[in-house]
Amino acid sequence: MVNKLVKVDFFGKMLLRIGIALYMWSVVLLSFKFDKENLWMALLMAYLVVIPGLSLLHYRNAKTGLIGGIGTLLFFLASSIVLIVTDLSANVSWTLIYLHIIKDILLLFGSLILIGESLKEIVKDRITAPFPK
């Protein structure tokens, strides 16, 4: 019974990690157009391509998963702030503002879960590592 619960937890976190990566990659594909004159846009695109990849590498190395989790947390935090500011400047109703930012807030919470999972793996690796000779 416990093994099945652990498998469900593992599978759910794996799907969350893959879903966040796919969402960030779809932001790049659907929102940005490559423009050679905007260096900051190219840097943002590179960030949105590399960070989800680091998050997916959690299963190889928990430290890279931690870096990817922190990167996704920062992205969704910044995205929420930008959406609030732009919606407030456009005099959008509060219900629409809520609907615009709720997905970013939920993905931010998902990033926190993945950061915790990576930290847990790092601690587990340290505890179970053999003593140096």
Domain extent, residue 28, equals 2-128
Residue 89 within any structural domain of the chain = yes
Residue 101 within any structural domain of the chain = yes
Domain count, the chain: 1
- DSSP states of 33-72 as a string? ---TT-HHHHHHHHHHHHHHHHHHGGGT-HHHHHHHHHHH
Residue 118 within any structural domain of the chain = yes
pLDDT at 28 (0 to 100): 82
Residue 68 within any structural domain of the chain = yes
pLDDT at 15 (0 to 100): 92
Residue 43 within any structural domain of the chain = yes
Residue 75 within any structural domain of the chain = yes
37-61 pLDDT, tens digit per residue, is 777 777 888 888 899 999 888 888 8
Q: What does pLDDT average to over the chain?
A: 87
23-39 pLDDT, tens digit per residue, is 988 888 887 776 667 77
Residue 133 within any structural domain of the chain = no
Q: Look up the pTM and report it.
A: 0.82
